[in-house]
A and B are shown apart, each in its own frame.
Chain A
């Protein structure tokens, strides 16, 4: 089976840096994704890691350690519009032996002035 854990809520100040952690257990690991979801909207793709290390994309960076089953999403220079839910998703084999994208329950980030 698959198990994905991330904090339920986080609060940070505008202009600051925040790190959202994700730990996972999966069989047949084949990639980790981060998505952003604003209230009432669809998830939008932020980043993808399949090899260990850091991927940087503007104000957003994502890190992966496959041996530790651990990833984090780093958001720099926080803006009010970054207030959203951040979803960690792991691609791995599910109980039906196919590959599926399984999501954590999301971390609700509140950015305060």
Chain B
């Protein structure tokens, strides 16, 4: 089976812009979770989608949003970018959601200037 894929792998944006990141889960997996990883805070949970519905969310501002399509692919959007949004954004898929082992994609490294 192909693993989790994320596009783009690298991205440079400026403050105030918005960005959309994409994640394709492992075939057959219906849950996609998004995480932000920074050196200072480590891996932090953003939200989880399951069968096109947001099932859970972490403690991030409303500028961070996401959605999931019928084929389980997911997108994450960050509006009005801030310098502190510079991070590695990881998505992970699992077959039944947080109850099962999550498999991570390679991540999108976002740099906000």
Contact = CB atoms under 8 A, between A and B. Distances in A.
Residue of B33, B90, B98 with highest tally of chain A CB at under 10 A? B98
Interface stretch (B12-20, B54-62, B63-71, B77-85): B54-62
A100 B33 CA distance: 9
Interface string A80-113: 0000000101010011101111111110000000
Contact of A98 (B43, B55, B106): B55
Contacts of A43: 43, 90, 104
Contact of A94 (B35, B43, B56): B56
B25 interface: no
Interface string B1-39: 000100000000000000000000000000001010000
A33 B101 contact: yes
A83 to B, nearest CB: 18
Interface of A: 30-31, 33, 35, 41-45, 48, 87, 89, 91, 94-96, 98-106
Interface of B: 4, 33, 35, 41-45, 48, 55-59, 90, 97-99, 101-107
A103 B56 contact: no
B56 A99 contact: yes
